[in-house]
Amino acid sequence: MADGARLADAATVEFGEPAGPRKSTVRLGRRRVIRFLAATGATVGMILAGPAAAEMSAAASIAECDGLAAHPNDPNKVGPGVVFDRVDGPAAIESCGRALTENPGNPHVMFTLGRANERVKRFDEAARLYKLAADQGNAAAQTNLGTLYALGSGGLTKDDREAARLYKLAADQGFASAQTDLGIFYEQGRGGLAKDDREAARLYKLAADQGDDRARNNLGFFYLSGGGGLPRDDREAVILFKVSAAQGNVVAQALLGLLYEKGIHGVAKDEREAVRFYRLAADRGNPTAQTDLGAMYEDGRGGLAKDDREAARLYKLAADQGHARGQNYLAVFYRDGRGGLEKDEHEAVRLFRLAAEQGDDNAKRNLAQLGIR
């Protein structure tokens, strides 16, 4: 596959949430409360036994909930927040459910509980909670509800116009994730919005200036291509990709893997560094990185021992997510009986067809070689 097509493959559009370090401050906060009460004696304990104690308990329950599931960009959160794929869904649902009981009607808690439900794929309940919080003007809830409308998830009919409306409400409050998602809609001309790369770039910059990793990545692509009214600037693009990757953005990690593998866009060729970035993203489930890491194992490159079994495993992970190149590469292994797989022309043809239907030219050629059109 040509480098341009590989770049396009790496440039997966991400709706949803930013990555960032997981770090909870909840238990530290509780220890401080305990030490305070112990040091000040029973008299203070008696004073706090009334409304003040209840208020402290309610606040502590929010802090515990936030430590398990708060959105990293949520301005109302306690602590730094938790990356979505590192949220402990069941524990967060239990904790945030208690917090909502102690803080009824609190839109921040509703949103965070919704996020915990979304993590365990309880999309209908997530949508219900997001709507309750969004109706109170919570920007984070408006954004996540918008994404459910954009995807047609959570029992909601797919509705790009409603998604755009919600993103705009949240973006107008300065919420970085919404600015990024609204930027994507302008870049793609979705939700009744006229395609406008300059407006997309403006929104990405607003979000990137607040530290949003997806915005940095998307802005990097504009610098790479000279889009959005920005000058073409490989150096600025790579800086943005590296910062986004350091924040844990798997799309940026997969892309940097490609840049290092090929030695393009001002990046010195370094296949070991390519493998490092591919592995970071592959371990987080990115199908492009899984495919590219599999290819490195297949060829024995980047300091890796040649290993067709590991390549087949990675190709299957990507193929199971509908990744066209992963499907094509796995089909080749089934066709040839490689990577510990039995020869299976029927499965090979099935996978070639899936990839070809997505426009993969190599898969089309492989079908043609089998006499299948």
Residue 25, domain CATH: 1.25.40
- Residues 87 and 317: their CA atoms lie apart, in Å, by 22
- Residues 289 and 336: their CA atoms lie apart, in Å, by 23
Lowest mean pLDDT among 6-20, 27-41, 101-115, 165-179: 27-41
Total of domains in the chain? 1
The three-state DSSP-derived secondary structure of the chain is CCHHHHHHHHCCCCCCCCCCCCCCCHHHHHHHHHHHHHHHHHHHHHHCCCHHHHHHHHHHHHHHHHHHHCCCCCCCCCCCCCCHHHCCHHHHHHHHHHHHHHCCCCHHHHHHHHHHHHHCCCHHHHHHHHHHHHCCCCHHHHHHHHHHHHHCCCCCCCCHHHHHHHHHHHHCCCCHHHHHHHHHHHHHCCCCCCCCHHHHHHHHHHHHCCCCHHHHHHHHHHHHHCCCCCCCCHHHHHHHHHHHHHCCCHHHHHHHHHHHHHCCCCCCCCHHHHHHHHHHHHHCCCHHHHHHHHHHHHHCCCCCCCCHHHHHHHHHHHHCCCCHHHHHHHHHHHHHCCCCCCCCHHHHHHHHHHHHHCCCHHHHHHHHHCCCC
- Considering only CA atoms, give the Rg of the chain: 24
Structure tokens at 27: 């238990």
How crowded is residue 95: how many other Cβ atoms within 10 Å of its Cβ? Answer: 24
Residue 57: band (very low, low, confident or very high) from pLDDT cuts 50, 70, 90: confident
In one letter, which amino acid is 288? T
In one letter, which amino acid is 40? T
Domain hosting 73: range is 19-138
First to last CA, the chain: 21
Phi and psi at residue 296, in whole multiples of 5°?
-65, -40
Flag whether pLDDT at 88 surpasses 90. yes
- The string over 34-53, giving b where at least 16 C-beta atoms fall within 10 Å of a residue's C-beta and e elsewhere, is eeeeeeeeeeeeeebeeeee
Q: Give me the pLDDT at residue 58, please.
A: 86
The percent of residues in the chain predicted with pLDDT above 70, rounded, is: 86
pLDDT tens profile 346-355: 999 999 999 9
pLDDT tens profile 354-372: 999 999 999 999 999 999 9
Residue 106 domain-assigned?
Answer: yes
Give pTM, 2 decimals: 0.84
Nearest to 34 by CA among 24, 45, 43, 25: 45
- Residues 8 and 30: their CA atoms lie apart, in Å, by 48
Structure tokens at 60: 């502590």
Residue 51 domain-assigned?
Answer: yes
- Specify the residue for token string 């770039």: 201
Residue 327 domain-assigned?
Answer: no
Residue 75 domain-assigned?
Answer: yes
Flag whether pLDDT at 12 surpasses 80. no
- Residues 264-292, mean pLDDT to the nearest whole number: 98
pLDDT tens profile 223-257: 999 999 999 999 999 999 999 999 999 999 999 99
- Residues 158 and 152: their CA atoms lie apart, in Å, by 4
Residue 85 domain-assigned?
Answer: yes
Residue 12 domain-assigned?
Answer: no
Residue 353 domain-assigned?
Answer: no
Residue 33 domain-assigned?
Answer: yes
Collect all residues with Cβ–Cβ distance below 8 Å to 239 and sequence separation of at least 6.
Answer: 220
Flag whether pLDDT at 31 surpasses 60. no
Residue 312: band (very low, low, confident or very high) from pLDDT cuts 50, 70, 90: very high
Q: Is the Cβ–Cβ distance between 144 and 154 less than 8 Å?
A: no
- Residues 221 and 145: their CA atoms lie apart, in Å, by 26
pLDDT tens profile 182-230: 999 999 999 999 999 999 999 999 999 999 999 999 999 999 999 999 9
